[in-house]
Chain A
Amino acid sequence: MLSLHKLSHAFGGLKAVDDVSLELPQYCLGALIGPNGAGKTTLFALMSGFLKPDSGRVLYRGEDITGGAPHRNALHGMARTFQIVQPFAQQTVRENIAVGAHLRLPGRRDALERAEIVAQQVGLAHQLEKPASDLTVAGRKRLELARALATQPRLLLLDEVLAGLNPGEIAEMIPVVQSIAASGVTVLMIEHVMQAVMNLAQQVWVLAQGRLIAQGTPMEVTRDDKVIEAYLGHGTAARLRAAELAR
């Protein structure tokens, strides 16, 4: 579905994404994890066209879309959400979602109706007429998801849709993401909430300091020494194992 070939991007002297290659198969529900500042969001921006890579290529459904404009990628079925939620604050929830729906539906009435269906899918149905600025953080995350979903994507890039939610809200969101994936949408999510990653992801990629350091199933990745050290510091993997043996 999506493959990255030796993608690199630097902000000044900082290599935010460094020679990353990965292959996201169709219908996969994948997760991209890594410590803060690892370059996950930058990688998303490179995939969706918000940033142009310094080198490397992005292939989407076999086509080279490197440096293509985001709106064109959206038209071809790639939708993304933002880590820092970006609602159209002055408009209602319904109008917000309708903007996404308009990508496939030119008619205003069709788009507004479609917005209602999508809102039900993500659990926003009872807040349709609220101004987006009145939503809670959890509501805004749902709105991000709904707006992306309304474009009827083939590939959905979710940037931390669970961050900032309380455990109850996370538990509500997980089945939503699951059902989206089950409906045939390929999903790649950036996530810090490991509970969700372990529950949801079939495949996990781990990014640290711009480099891809591990990939595999959630179980494989969480046992990987390099991953443990990326999160907890150099030498911790050996110490953890020693502690385990001592017990």
Chain B
Amino acid sequence: MKDLGCIALFALIVACVPLVTSSGVALNFTMMALYACLLAQAWNILGGFGGQFSFGHALFFGTGAYVQAIAQLQGLNPWLALPLALAASALVALFVGALTFRYGLKGSYFALVTLAFAEVFRIVSLSVSFTGAGVGLMVPLRASASNMQFASRAGYVWLVLAMVVVALLVTAWLRHSRFGAYLQAVRDNEDAARAVGVDPFRVKLAAIALSAALMGAGGAFYVQVFQYIDPGIAYGPGTSVEALVAAIVGGMGTLWGPVVGAVALHLLADLTRNLFGQLPGINMVIYGVVLVLIMMFAPRGIAGFGLPARWRRLRGKRNG
């Protein structure tokens, strides 16, 4: 239960940030980095632990965001809209997962199908009226905690921190549970998993639903912060890429990898923004370069890069 201790410590330290500083820049950075953590962790459940590389996680992000926005516009309290958003994202995931996993799509095929689904949803949401079509949806600003909107960034930091902690707890549970063991077994060798009684279809389906629900939480959070959503933001490839790059750079299938990756990428993006000014798309270029470098030199990510692997090998030698 070392994981739980680490998570508690992490939560405590980050929760203190808004108490220590009231600088808008610092709080904004903390909030956006945590938000990126959330997306990366969501992706990590399916991609890192399940080995199913989705290129269309925006599908679940966007669904969560739209449901959160639409429910509020219908007069529902955002705190009540949030579970709806999670459920809707999970439902979409079950649908996509049932289709793709039933027919055994893996690797690049699965990646392409998820990418295609996200694009289909983007185009559909551009043309139907209840998503506001190309204009998007505006959520009225009524700053109060009961309305899940906060006058200062501090409230948002705490909100997204709570979501990140839930995501961390889910990931920690994966590391110490039968479901997590099954999921990693399916990732490493599906036939071998089947031979010892694992039903890969059900395991992958549960993983994609879990992953999507967390992604949906990210979408709902986005709507609460920016009070606006449109098809490009919701279902565009940007969010999908951000989620997977942070997870891969940080270290797939680890607890802290996505956190490390998300923070590192955000630091990098801020740095380049300061160096190159507001050159549009520069952060995507940087992400691409970093992804290639990581894949070439540290395929296990930053977290799998130094100590843990070496420590594990040492421990193996001592016992062996």
A residues in contact (CB < 8 Å) with B: 48, 50, 69-71, 74-75, 79-82, 86-92, 95, 98-100, 102-103, 106-108, 111, 126-131, 134, 147-148, 150-151
Contacts A99-B181, A103-B197, A151-B196 supplied; 11 other A-B pairs, CB < 8 Å: A50-B191, A50-B194, A70-B195, A82-B191, A88-B188, A88-B189, A88-B193, A95-B184, A100-B196, A129-B319, A130-B320
Known contacts A71-B199, A103-B196; is-contact A87 B177 (Cβ 8 Å)? no
Cβ of A111 and Cβ of B178 under 8 Å apart?
A: yes
**Residues in B neighbouring A148, C-beta threshold 8 A:** 195-196
Are A69 and B196 in contact, with the CB atoms below 8 A?
A: no
Most buried by B among A90, A107, A134: A90
Please state if A71 and B185 are interface contacts (CB–CB under 8 Å). no
Contacts of A130 in B (CB 8 A): 316, 319-320
**Top 7 closest pairs, chain A to chain B, by CB:** A74-B197, A88-B188, A86-B192, A103-B197, A100-B196, A70-B194, A130-B316
Query: What is the chain A residue whose CB lies nearest that of B180?
Result: A108
**Chain B contact residues: helix, strand, loop or mixed:** helix
Q: Is the CB of B177 within 8 A of A108?
A: yes
In the complex, chain B residues whose CB is within 8 Å of the CB of A50: 191, 194-195
Set B188, B196, B253, B315: member contacting A89, Cβ < 8 A: B188
Q: Is the CB of A95 within 8 A of B181?
A: yes
CB B174 to nearest CB in A, in angstroms, measures: 11
Quick one: CB contact mask for B177-216 with A, threshold 8 Å, 1 for yes? 1100110110111011111111110000000000000000
Residue among A82, A88, A107, A150 making CB contact with B185, cutoff 8 Å: A88
Chain A residues within 8 Å of B315, by CB: 129
Q: Which of B193, B198, B312 contacts A131 (CB 8 A)?
A: B312
Instruction: Please indicate the chain A residues that have their CB under 8 angstroms from the CB of B200 in the complex.
Output: 71
What separation, in Å, do the CA atoms of A91 and B197 have in the docked complex?
18
Q: Is the CB of A127 within 8 A of B195?
A: no
> Chain B interface: which size bin?
20 to 34
The distance in angstroms between the C-alpha atoms of A205 and B289, with both chains bound, is: 59
Q: Which of B176, B193, B195, B197 contacts A108 (CB 8 A)?
A: B176
- Of B177, B191, B197, chain A has the most CB atoms within 10 Å of the CB of B197
Closest chain-A Cβ to B247's Cβ sits at a distance in Å of: 16
A-B residue pairs in contact (CB < 8 Å), sample of 25: A50-B191, A50-B194, A70-B195, A71-B197, A71-B198, A74-B195, A79-B195, A82-B191, A86-B195, A87-B188, A87-B189, A87-B192, A88-B192, A90-B187, A90-B188, A99-B198, A106-B178, A108-B176, A108-B177, A126-B320, A127-B319, A127-B320, A129-B320, A131-B313, A131-B316
Bound CA–CA A99/B181 (angstroms): 6
Please give, as numbers and ranges, the residues of chain B lying within 8 Å of A103 by CB-CB distance: 196-197
A102 to B186, CA, bound (A): 14
Cβ–Cβ contact B182 & A102, under 8 A: yes
Please tell me if the beta carbons of A108 and B178 are within 8 angstroms of each other in the complex. yes
What residue of chain A has the Cβ atom nearest to residue B185's Cβ? Answer: A99
Query: Are B191 and A99 within 8 A (Cβ)?
Result: no
Contact present for A74 and B196 (CB under 8 Å): yes
**In this complex, which of A69, A92, A102 has the most chain B Cβ atoms within 10 angstroms of its Cβ?**
A102
Find residues 70-111 in chain B having any chain A CB closer than 8 Å to their own CB.
none
**A15 CB → nearest B CB, Å:** 24
A131 to B309, CA, bound (A): 10
Q: In the assembled complex, how far is the CB of residue A45 from the closest CB belonging to chain B, in whole angstroms? A: 10
Contacts of B181 in A (CB 8 A): 95, 98-99, 102, 108, 111
B252 to chain A minimum Cβ distance, whole angstroms, is 10
A75 to chain B, nearest CB (A): 5
Q: Are B176 and A88 in contact (CB under 8 A)?
A: no
Complex Cα gap A108–B1 (Å): 12
Complex: chain A residue closest to B176, CB-CB: A108
Q: In the assembled complex, how far is the CB of residue B306 from the closest CB belonging to chain A, in whole angstroms? A: 17
A residues less than 8 Å from B253 (CB atoms) = 90
Closest beta carbon of chain A to B189's beta carbon, Å: 5
B187 smallest CB distance to A (angstroms): 8
Given the complex of chains A and B, what is the CA–CA distance between A150 and B193 in angstroms? 13
